[in-house]
Amino acid sequence: MPKKRVADIPFQKAVPIKPMKILITIVDHGRGDIFLDYYSKNEVALQLVLNGEGAHEKELANILGLEDVRKDIVISIVQADKLPLILEFIQMRFNLSNKDRGIAFTIPLQSLIGVSVYKFLSNSTNLLKGS
């Protein structure tokens, strides 16, 4: 019987499938790049930045000196095993200065359709040659 090549083995049998989570990070406008850079260095393949606006009224914001209520909303898909390091970084940045304060939370990702989608989101596209 001929020996199986790596390309002949289904991806999900050759590489352990790891759980993934959606990470939402909300910070002041212009501060999202700090988090984008760190997430990229930790192999987060998909990141989306949306513009948001704080929920408090503009009059109250002016009284409190919070003229700019714009927010960066960073949505990322992260492997669950990489989250502790990323969440530690987020907490460190939030505690570093008032400019970097925000909110971050995760949502479990229950399913993905297709091996190619998983490979992309988990940064596994080059894990197996020929797959």
Q: Which residues contact 88 (CB under 8 A, 6 or more apart)?
A: none
Which pLDDT score, from 0 to 100, does residue 11 have? Answer: 62
Q: Do 81 and 18 touch, CB atoms closer than 8 A?
A: yes
Which pLDDT score, from 0 to 100, does residue 25 have? Answer: 94
Rounded CA separation 68/70 (Å)? 6
Q: Do 71 and 54 touch, CB atoms closer than 8 A?
A: yes
Distances (CA, A) of 77 to 37, 46, 83, 107: 14, 6, 10, 10
Rounded CA separation 93/30 (Å)? 14
Q: Do 125 and 119 touch, CB atoms closer than 8 A?
A: yes
Check whether 129 has a pLDDT greater than 50. no
- Of 6 and 86, the one with more pLDDT: 86
Claim: this prediction has a pTM higher than 0.85: no
Q: Do 31 and 102 touch, CB atoms closer than 8 A?
A: yes
Q: What is the dihedral of CA 93, 99, 105, 111, to 10 degrees?
A: -90
- pLDDT (tens digit per residue) in 11-57: 666 667 788 899 999 998 888 999 999 999 988 878 888 888 776 66
Q: Which helix (H) or strand (E) holds 95?
A: helix 83-96
- pLDDT (tens digit per residue) in 64-109: 556 667 899 999 999 888 999 999 999 999 998 777 789 999 999 8
